[in-house]
Amino acid sequence: MALQPAAGVRDLNPREVDSNRRLSDTLAEVYRLWGYQEVAPPSIELLDTLQAGGAIEERELVRLVADEPLGLRPELTASIARAASTRMADRPRPLRLWACGSTFRSAIGEAGGQRVSEQLQSGVELLGIPSPAADTELMHLLLAACATLGLRSEHQPTLLVGHHGVLSALLRQLAAPHQAPVRAALTEFDPLALAALPLSATERQRLMALLALRGEPTQVLYQLEQWLGPLPLLDSLARTLESVAARATALGVRLQLDPTFQPHFDLYDGLVLKLVCQAADAPVAIASGGRYDALVGRFCADPELSAGTGFAFAIEEIRELLGADHRAAPPTAPWLVAASAEAGLGAALARLAELHAAGQAAELCPESCATAAEAERIAASRGCRGAQWLAA
């Protein structure tokens, strides 16, 4: 019999489970304050839904052996967008939803075998607002949630912002055959691949400059306008970033605009976000998301309602980032309720019920204890706060 969990997953101890629950509950409270309602998308979906129109590669999906082409969800957005556009289609827009649950992804391990990773995510989806107002709300909500997590200055939180439309506008300045390989080189930050492409010297020089262009939004937007000219898209992005700048500064979150940034999954067609913090050994992404109008359009018959934006927090990454000092406080140790043989198990169960009714944690000693000292010894060995021993 196997004694280890499957490759890519691990067992969680009670302290880790408590911490995950505390973080999830903290975020959920913020979502509710902003008017978001909880949904519970299924863990199992048709592969067509999970692939989100080709945005997620099939090799990253955990497939199930079934009569239908089924798999486990690699993220929450596609399932919620499907449900919102079908079973919740008659609800008024905007539709504000949140969910928390496990996601599953497949990868090839170092030995060539499949590794399945399980991650706990908590996030929101805002559907039915095609205007930039949804992007603005999303960023403010992300910052409001971030403020409750207990991040410290040494974590150096940075909110990385990109835009699919801006990158597409830059790529349209190139010949059509070059656009796809240049996009791949830029988003994967691969200067060697970029240098190997058959581009003119002017094009290569500008793309190398674009590869290094990231930082304070105002300065980056100024450079983009020099390349693209005045665009309504740049003006809209500038207003969105300006609206959150003061709040981000107050929270100690640095805003960084990166025109070449694109998330791992190709779900997004507008604003994209990633919240990155400095861990002990390397930076770690604790939240990501963006706008996904085209994904909603796959499920929604009304083009005017084909709009969605959202983000998700990586709960376990946050738990590891915050460390032992910021994990969930240990629960109040329970009483041990024990009884002598003469008092009997019934009396112990009655006392247990009294303590529970008073809101006090208590556990039962199933065997009789001859003396109070014996009960106290058992209580100490189990980490209880003390013993309540019932004599005859």
Name the nearest CA neighbour of 19 among 230, 350, 318, 257: 318
> What single letter denotes the amino acid at residue 368?
S
How is residue 65 written in tokens?
């052996």
DSSP state string for 59-126: GGSEEE-SSS-EEE-SSSHHHHHHHHHTTTTTSPSSEEEEEEEEEEEEEE-TTSSEEEEEEEEEEEEE
CA distance 237 to 290: 13
SS3 at position 287: strand
How is residue 384 written in tokens?
């209880």
The angle, 0 to 180 degrees and rounded to 10, between the axes of the packed helices 164-171 and 217-228 is 30
CA distance 357 to 346: 17
CA distance 51 to 220: 33
* Contact residues for 167 (Cβ-Cβ < 8 A; gap 6+): 183, 186, 187, 259, 260, 262
pLDDT in tens, 248-290: 999 999 999 999 998 877 889 999 999 999 998 899 999 999 9
CA distance 138 to 67: 39
CA 47 vs CA 54, 171, 267, 370: distances in Å: 10, 31, 15, 62
> What single letter denotes the amino acid at residue 251?
L
Phi then psi dihedrals of residue 69, to 5 deg = -75, 95
Find the farthest-apart pair of alpha carbons in the chain and give their distance in angstroms, rounded.
Answer: 95
pLDDT in tens, 301-336: 787 788 999 999 999 999 999 985 555 555 678 999
pLDDT in tens, 354-384: 999 999 999 999 999 999 999 999 999 999 9
Output the tens digit of pLDDT for each of the chain's 392 residues: 666 777 667 888 888 999 999 999 999 999 999 999 999 999 999 988 888 777 788 888 889 988 899 999 999 999 999 999 999 999 999 999 999 999 999 887 766 677 888 999 999 999 999 999 999 999 999 999 999 999 999 999 999 999 999 999 999 999 999 999 999 999 999 999 999 999 999 999 999 999 999 999 999 999 999 999 999 999 999 999 999 999 999 999 999 999 999 887 788 999 999 999 999 889 999 999 999 999 999 888 787 788 999 999 999 999 999 985 555 555 678 999 999 999 999 999 999 999 999 999 999 999 999 999 999 999 999 999 999 999 97
303 and 110 Cβ atoms separated by less than 8 Å: no
Name the nearest CA neighbour of 79 among 64, 63, 101, 57: 101
DSSP state string for 217-234: HHHHHHHHHHHH-S-HHH
Give me the long-range contacts of 49-54 (CB less than 8 A, separation at least 24). 49/78, 49/79, 49/82, 50/74, 50/78, 52/77, 52/78, 52/265, 52/267, 52/295, 52/298, 53/294, 53/295, 53/298, 54/266
